[in-house]
Structure 1
Amino acid sequence: MSLVPILKSRKLRATLAIGVAAASVVALSACQANAGADADAFPSEPFTITVPSGPGGGLDQLGRSVQLALTQSGLVKDNIQVFNNPGAGSMLGLNQFVREEEGDPYQLLAVSAVLLGAEKTSDIDVTLEGDTTPIAELASEYLTIAVPKDSPYKTISDLVDALKKDPSGVNIVGSVAGSLEQVLIGLLAQSEDIDPTEITYVPYENASEQVTALLSGDADVSVMGISEILSQLQDGSVVPLVVSSPERIEGIDAPTFGEAGLSEDLAMANWRGIVAPPGITDEQRDQVVDLISQMRETDEWQEILTAKSWADTFKGGTEFGDYMNAESKRIGDALKGLGLIDG
């Protein structure tokens, strides 16, 4: 038998073996590269958004709007759970978030200026600005002072006159103690030489309870974010006396404080945003900030802002953190000046 065919066969087998080995190395390298890419991908786990108040209010609307925009835009593939955890003027949800979710970048908390006031009237030893990781301010919303359609107060001047005659005789409902809503009523009273501590202000945990109190006659006046009472404003069951914006708001038939002959300094807005727990890394923080920044640019988010009459007041990361610190001082000074907390 000739040796040539045998040698050729051996060379062929050796060549095939080398080719198979090389292909295996390439395939293994590709798998390792993909595994590395998957490990580095963000987000790689589902998010949970905690809302430290009940359903229907501004924080709840924010949390569910973020959920909607992230998923419908395709920025997040997994489902996002929104979890309501009300109590203690929103401080219960903040406290549990800080204590139980430390170091987890997939846990987010919906927050607003309300919490900066609530923490100053609470015995719970955590603060929004000191114990969370700032991600982004997403929107601001102006407030309205509103009454039932059959109210004797037809204008904001009617309400001010009633408060001058009997400061405690008007039952005013709003958000939690120390909230921007209570600050607004206190500053309105103060600007008209009415003692803010004499005002009857009843705090509620969520907006739906405030609306129910107003429509049932348990309350005379409500101070709320416009989106929280928008359907009642639109159907006419509730009438806005004034809005806290510097200029009129399209679709809301109510004057500004300045137009009503009151102090223009009463113009103010309640901002809302997202924070992460303490203890996440700088890289994780930057990843979440980048994701939320991308969401802000989507059509889905911009449509939400328009539908809810929210102003786009985006501030990301450290800028948001600096702003919260400044807001905390401003709200604290206002509460002290109104005699609502100790100086």
Structure 2
Amino acid sequence: MLSIRKISTFMFAGALALSLAACSSNETASTDKKEESTGYPTKAITVVAPSGAGGGWDLTARSFTKILSGTKIVEQPLTVENKPGGGGAVFMAEYATQQAANNDMLFVNSPPIVINNLKKEGNSPYGYKNTTPLAQLTKDFGAIVVKADSPYKDLKSVLEEVKKDPSKLTFAGGSAPGSMDHLISILPAYKYGVDPTKVKYVSYDGGGEAVTALLGGNADVIGTDASSVKEFLKAGKIRVLAITSEERVGGDFKEVPTAKEQGVDAQFTIWRGIFGPEKMSKEAKAYWETSIEKLVNSPEWKKEVETQGWELEYKDSADFKKFLDGQESQVQQLLEALGMQK
């Protein structure tokens, strides 16, 4: 028979063994947990503007990276890369097929990511469903613009000219036919009873190039996002005939009437957002959701949005995805009305 002392010794040894086993198990679990985390981000982040320099995507990407870096919300280097072509469609083809799991490349986009996927001409097989929508940042509006010395003083004077001869005036924009700038350009004419397919439209790679064409006399009218022409308006180089908002916007555009004010019910809102790759890791997505929420709540970002003439309109990843689903239905209806749906 075992003595009480021996029994106690065995019990102590057993308890010690269980304790050591538990510690070993905890250490293994801890090690496994550490191995699951990559400490994202570990390298420089590229934010792509799928257009040339000077347009709305470019300005948004540069503001986004500037404030994230300046506030130290993101400590890794952030760079902006311009990849123009097809109103964003060229970049989307590369991104969806070659960068689908690249957590270190984000991009800026707006309605074209929906439009390009739905339109008949120049249709892109890739859209927002081939990405991870991270957040909506701002909203902007379309602008109908002419040179400062243009004989056209208001929207109706342009529309009357187009109604007489749809091919007389050359409209231009920074995106391909059937894309956002084209829709902005022809929407007032369509609402005014003009066959939009008869309106002459020339596309350029980015809003900056479209403005250059206007100032150089290669276009009579451009349709673009209001914020991208603000500096030209302040410099007295252009005249904005109409804004596609429901009500007048403030700041530098406070004197510009809406299309609706001029009897043309042409409204078009331009949202801008940030997207990641379709196969973005959960860790990277969580990192950007947190970082972007900090960004939009920072005084630096609010000041930047005001300076650029945008309106702050934040939607987190889940709400942004729902919004895009609804936007897809709206764009489909508009393209069908214009005979441009696929």
Please classify the TM superposition score into its range, dividing by the shorter chain length.
Answer: 0.7 to 0.9
Residues 1:57 and 2:59 are matched in the alignment: no
Q: 1:155 to 1:84 in 2, by over 3 A?
A: same
Q: Partner of 1:310 in structure 2?
A: 310
Q: Partner of 1:154 in structure 2?
A: 153
Q: AA paired with 1:62?
A: T
Deviations 1:82-113 (A, max 9, x none): 11111122111111112222223222111111
Q: AA paired with 1:225?
A: D
Q: Partner of 1:167 in structure 2?
A: 166
Residues 1:184 and 2:178 are matched in the alignment: no
Q: Partner of 2:142 in structure 1?
A: 143
Q: Return the offset for 1:132.
A: 0.4
SS of 1:314's partner is strand
Q: 1:287 to 1:78 in 2, by over 3 A?
A: closer
Q: AA paired with 2:44?
A: P
Write the distance in 2 (CA, Å) between the matches of 1:224 and 1:124.
Answer: 21
Q: Please tell me whether the aligned partners of residues 57 and 208 of structure 1 are also in contact (alpha carbons under 8 angstroms).
A: yes
Q: AA paired with 1:137?
A: Q
Q: Partner of 1:242 in structure 2?
A: 242
Which of 115, 118, 121 is 1:117 aligned to? 115
Write the distance in 2 (CA, Å) between the matches of 1:95 and 1:187.
Answer: 28
Deviations 1:210-241 (A, max 9, x none): 11111111110011112211111111110111
- With normalisation by structure 1, the TM-score equals 0.84
SS of 1:102's partner is coil
**Fraction of identical pairs, as percent:** 28
Write the distance in 2 (CA, Å) between the matches of 1:242 and 1:39.
Answer: 51
Q: Please tell me whether the aligned partners of residues 173 and 185 of structure 2 are also in contact (alpha carbons under 8 angstroms).
A: no
Cα-Cα RMSD: 2.1
Q: Please tell me whether the aligned partners of residues 186 and 338 of structure 1 are also in contact (alpha carbons under 8 angstroms).
A: no
Q: Partner of 2:325 in structure 1?
A: 325
Write the distance in 2 (CA, Å) between the matches of 1:232 and 1:281.
Answer: 41
Deviations 1:304-334 (A, max 9, x none): 1001111111111121112112212211221
Q: Partner of 2:16 in structure 1?
A: none
Write the distance in 2 (CA, Å) between the matches of 1:337 and 1:146.
Answer: 24
Which shows bigger deviation, 112-121 or 35-44?
A: 35-44
Deviations 1:139-173 (A, max 9, x none): 11112101111111111110111011011111011
SS of 1:275's partner is strand
| Unaligned stretches of 5+ residues in structure 2 | 1-26
Which shows bigger deviation, 249-258 or 279-288?
A: 279-288
Q: Give the 5 Å matches for 1:1-343.
A: 36=34, 41-119=39-117, 120=119, 121-127=121-127, 129-176=128-175, 177-250=177-250, 251-252=252-253, 253-263=255-265, 266-342=266-342
Write the distance in 2 (CA, Å) between the matches of 1:123 and 1:334.
Answer: 15
Q: Please tell me whether the aligned partners of residues 105 and 288 of structure 1 are also in contact (alpha carbons under 8 angstroms).
A: no
**Which stretches of structure 1, 4 residues or more, deviate above 6 A after TM superposition?**
none
Q: Please tell me whether the aligned partners of residues 90 and 205 of structure 1 are also in contact (alpha carbons under 8 angstroms).
A: no
Q: Partner of 1:20 in structure 2?
A: none
Q: AA paired with 2:184?
A: L
Write the distance in 2 (CA, Å) between the matches of 1:155 and 1:124.
Answer: 35
Q: 1:333 to 1:239 in 2, by over 3 A?
A: same
Write the distance in 2 (CA, Å) between the matches of 1:290 and 1:104.
Answer: 19
Q: Return the offset for 1:135.
A: 0.3
Q: Return the offset for 1:41.
A: 4.3
- With normalisation by structure 2, the TM-score equals 0.84
Q: AA paired with 1:161?
A: E
SS of 2:341's partner is coil
Q: Return the offset for 1:288.
A: 1.4
Write the distance in 2 (CA, Å) between the matches of 1:247 and 1:277.
Answer: 36
Deviations 1:171-230 (A, max 9, x none): 011131222332233332222111111111112111121111111111100111122111
SS of 2:262's partner is coil
Write the distance in 2 (CA, Å) between the matches of 1:198 and 1:64.
Answer: 37
Q: Partner of 1:23 in structure 2?
A: none
Write the distance in 1 (CA, Å) between the matches of 2:87 and 2:314.
Answer: 25
Q: Please tell me whether the aligned partners of residues 145 and 221 of structure 2 are also in contact (alpha carbons under 8 angstroms).
A: yes
Q: Return the offset for 1:123.
A: 4.5
